[in-house]
Structures are given as structure tokens and as C-alpha cells.
Structure 1
Amino acid sequence: MGKMIYLDNAATTKTAPEVVEAMLPYFTEMYGNPSSIYDFASKSKEGVTKARGQIADALGAKREEIYFTAGGSEADNWALKATFEAYKSKGNHIITTKIEHHAILHTCEYLEKERGAKITYVDVDENGIVKLDELEKAITPETILISVMFANNEIGSIQPIKEIGAIAKEHGILFHTDAVQAFGQVPINVDELGIDMLSSSGHKLNGPKGIGFLYIRKGVKIRSFVHGGAQERKRRAGTENVPGIVGYGAAAERAIRTMEERTAKEIQVRDHFIDRIMKEIPYVKLNGHPTKRLPNNVNVSFQFIEGESMLLMLDNYGVCASSGSACTSGSLDPSHVLLAIGLPHEIAHGSLRMTLSEETTMEDADFVVDKLKEIVSGLRAMSPLYEDFIKKQKN
């Protein structure tokens, strides 16, 4: 096996060298607890403050609107559960979509079953874009929150966030977006887009794992999620993960600084990937919007074969890819996202997600597509379904 070609950057990314460099001193030199009052600890506090500013600047937000968490899932849980508790005197209705990450969907299920919430799951079109008319029709006097992801983690479709923000504002409803995949990949300004809360995770943009944040617009009445000390302005207790926070700040600053050049390259390689696959492999479908998609996302379904078989065979060639979200990779069920955009089970099972990085080259793309052609052809040759299909085509 030659070099590894890593195409699972939606699952996690490599921590950038400059991010690691920024973090290192906070493990061994400036290791003080930022809540302590002596001078040594102030170095840690300064690191946290700087990172908070770097992230706020990346969003067009204020420093005091950034609250650090242990990751995107915690931030999603916090946004939904704490909003429900804080605003339940106004109503108990939350609107979301059928293609959200499970951190949103499972939290909604909990609120519905255990807390008496009413949840509306809005449909998406065949490209995975939320139906705005259906979303607006779902609003009731009891609606307190709309939560729609910025960009889908599986098929890469980018939602009309500005329009959703305007609908929410018009009806006096809070708007939360899970931007775990989008932050650092597309420009985001929370004021321009009308976002009240936003979740993100460091390891999706060349930062460390185990760190995330929740942006909470000033004035949003949201309660503490973790109780204990007075950290994060008394809203999220627990000694701060200083190295992680510093690393996330450095990663956010890097992502914004390099975004234009980096994503332009990713789009070029992504489109080459898609073009070759669609032209050279028969009976394949591109999943997600053809243009309104994340710069690094390729998601395709191959008829008559199983995605897991492709993954194992690609792995033999040193290619790391995915059949969907890493959080559900152990599941035998087809992706809820692919089913929501109208794919039948048998086609959804043959899906492959490849998510690129700035290091992915045209040569990498060509190698993978060449191997995919061999793999798909070989697997179909063993498929009774494909054999029956070809016989019917000939008759």
C-alpha cells in the first residue's frame, strides 16, 4: 500500500501544526487555572480571552457572546434544552428538519418524550434544502425555537440561513443553527444572517478534539447547562480546557485567513471528483445540491452495491472515506439524510461520502476514481440485482 489518502474530513481533520504550536505552552509552561487570581494563572486567562476574541471576530460576534463547550454535540444539547426550559412559559414548540445531526434529533426526541415539547420536523427537497414555505407554515403561537443546520454533514447542502433567520425574526422566534460543518468552510456573519445561537466544534477545522463553542446572542435568555463554578460567565461550569480553547482560537483565525484560497482549491478538486464519477461510472447519483454545497463534500450513491464493501476495498488502497456520518458508522440502517431526500433504501445503502482537505490533490482524486471504477465494476459483477437489471435492459 502506498500513501494514505484521507477523505473523511467531515468526521475529523488533522490538527494544523500552527495550532499545535499555539497549544503546547499551555500544557507545560502556562498551566495555571484561569480562575485563580495570582499572576501565573493570568497567562492562562489571557490565552482564553484571546481565543474568545479570535472566534468572535470570525463570526462578526462580540467576545461575551462566545461560550466554550466540550464540542458540537454539547453545544447543540445546550441550545435546545436550555432554550426550552427558559422559554417554556411562552410555548413548547420547536421546529427543526429531518436531516439534522443526531445531536439535534435525539435531543428533540428527549424533549418530546421527557419534557412535553412539541417538535415539527420539516421536509427537505431532493437536494436536501429545507422547504421555506413548509417551515413558515409550521410556526404556531407556541413556537419558541427554529433549529436548522447551516450545512449538512453527509451531503454537504448549504441551507438558506439568511432567509430562515428573517422568518424567525419576523415571527419573534429564536433561531439556532448547527454550524459544525460550515464554520471555517463558508463565510458566516451572525448579525447579517439573523442567527441567535450557533454551535461549532474545533476538530472540524484543523483544531483539537474535545472543544467547541455555543454562540449566544446578547439578550437571549438561556440558562446554564453545566452547574458548578462561575466559569463562562456563570453559564457553563467547569475548569476551562485552556489548551483546547487556545487551539480552537488559532484554528478559527487560520480558517478565516486561508478560507478563500483553501476553499477555491477544494472546490476545483471536488468538482473534478464529481465530474469523473458521474461521467465514467454508470448508475450513480450525486447526493446534495450540485452547487450550494460545502466546498469539500462529495456524496454519491452507486446502485446495486453496498457502501460498506466499497469502504473496505478503498481502505485496502489506503483511501479513508465514509458511507455517512461518523457518529452512525456502526449502524446497519441507511442514512436518515438520504432517505429524507427521497432515496430508496437499496440506493441509500450504496452511498459513499468523500470529504476533502486543502491537501487533497488532483492526482489523489484521479487515483481514487480509477480505483472506484474497478471496485464498483467488481462488486456489481457479483450482484444478482445488477445481473437481473442488465438482463431486463437487454430485453
Structure 2
Amino acid sequence: MTSTPARWTPEQAHAWFKAQPWSLGANFVPASAINQLAMWQAESFDPERIDLELGWAKDLGMNTMRVFLHDLLWAQDAAGFKQRIHQYLEIADKHGIRTMFVLFDSCWDPEPKLGPQREPIPGVHNSGWVQSPSAAQLADRSTWPQLRAYVEDIVKTFGQDPRVSYWDIWNEPDNQGGGMGYYLPREAKDKIALVAEMIPQAFDWARAQAPMQPLTSGVWLGDNWAPDSPELNAVQKAQLACSDVVSFHDYNWPEKFEMRIKQLQQYGRPLICTEYMARSLGSTFDIALPIAAREDVGMINWGFVDGKSQTKMPWDSWKKPYTIDPPLVWFHDVLHTDGKPYRQREAELLRQYGARKR
């Protein structure tokens, strides 16, 4: 019986990181899809729209997209799902874009269902996004072997594919409630404890496939992520202990963004910010990109093209939907549905930093 390969050393991680282009891009779901199930299911997979939007991304200087997968898609039709992933990667590669795949996600609806997805709730941010695994799967350990098989098969299939840049094992694993608490009554009981138990195993399942890409899972909750912080919960400790490259989310003013970078630099590993840019909260391209370039932090913003995910609406739209007047300032998203930039100066900045050489 072979043992699981070891976590990369800091030296291995830095050597790998320095050999890559500086990551700049967005979290990607095409405007035609409300969530990751709609993006990937055979009936709604839209390669033409994906090709169009990734062409726009290339024009903006982006080279990395963070893309969410889902275990139910694999359980339903593993061969078909993997074929569509290959098709997506062919399109992305044509545009010079590599992909960070996200395997699990604790955000928003804990009761995902295959088949046609609901229409967006008018005026509400990300009203159809779904979790993976579901609350029922997470709470039932007898389902975990199938989740393991999903991770092992996907990482084995694409773990030596140079078009894949990172494996993000679990998005915001200690998130619960979603939608300003809307989903809290439907979450798994003891969700955080269950996730804390499962996430190190999920890293092991992926690492056992010996992928050429680093593994990560981004911290996002709380104010102090330093190694000696008493605020770190069990999930965060597992994320930071298992990640080859340290990733994080930040939607704050530049002072806090810089503070987070300084805290995480203490782990001695490369850094990549896998979610940022919420204009009305003070996180913008104008202020975040210069800091990240100076500190050599990869940058992947939330939201790309305005579409069914409706993430130009702020989080508080779950409490007060923007059904009459749109938000004065877009929350996320970079381009209108037709590809026109929301703000031309942002497009210029992205091209400027997309051309950056280390």
C-alpha cells in the first residue's frame, strides 16, 4: 500500500509559484448559468458562451479562472462530466487561460438538485448558488466514500494536465447560513465540526493522486490569521496546515487587505487571493492590484460577466432585493452581458497588470 505524498515544502511551493505567470483572473460562471450545476449539466452546458466570455477575459489580460465543480455532476455521469471539463479546458487553453478548479463549496443553498435550475430571484445576489456536498451528504458519513471517489477521479484525470493551475479543495468551508442567514435553518447540524473532520481527508484524497498542481483552500473568516492567532478555528487550522500554497478571500479596504497579507506571509508560502473586489465595501481593482503586485500575491476577483448569478447586486439584496432600482455601484462583476466594461478604467488596469512580468 502506497502512502499519500507529503505536502509540498515551502521551497517546493515557491519554486513552483515563481515558475508560473502571475495569476490574474476571475471566478467564472458564464452569464447564461445561475450556478455550477447549470454551467456543467449536458442540457445547459454552453461552450459558445464560454468561448465568447473567455475571449473577453483574454482581452483584459486575464490568465487564470477559478471554476467550481460539483460532486452530483460526477455521481450522475462521471464520463460525460469529465468530457465537458476537457471541452472547457480546450476553450480556456485556446485563450491562454489556465484554471483553478474548486472541488467542494460550503456557500449558499445546502440542498442542491440536479436537473433544470430555478430562475434567479429578481434583484438578489447569487440567488441560485448551491453547496457541494449537500447538507444531507455532509451529515451522513456513509456518503463520504462516494465523495472521496469523486475527488480521486477528478484529480487523477486532470492532475497532470498543464491547463489546470491549482486545486482549491473547499471554498469557504466554514461558511454557513448564506444569503444573510437565509439558508441557516437548512444547514447540516454541527456543520463546522463535520467539515473540520472531512477537510483534511479531502486534502489527502486529492494529494494521493500526486497532482502536479498545488492544493489549497482559502481562509476568509475572522480578523487574525497569523500562525499564533487564538482566533483560528478548527477548519482554518486544517486549511492552513494542508495547503501547499496559501489562499484567502478579502473584500475589505486596503489597510485590512495589507494586514491580511502580512499575517499570511508568516506561513512562508506563496499567496493567492481567490476572492476580492466588492466596490461598495472598499475593495477595488484600483487599490488592490498595486498592493498585490508589490507583494507578489496572485489575484482572482469574484464575478466576471453580469448574468444569472446577479452578483452586481450586493449581499444585502437578500434582505432588500434591488427590484426597482439597480445598485448605485455594482458590487461585483467586470463586464456587462454584451462584454462592455462596467468601468473602462478597470479594463485598462487589468490589461496593465495582466502584462506584468515578475
Could you state the TM-score of these two structures normalised by the residue count of structure 2? 0.28
Between structures 1 and 2, the one with greater helix share: 1
Q: Which structure: larger Rg?
A: 1
TM-score of the superposed pair, with normalisation by structure 1: 0.26
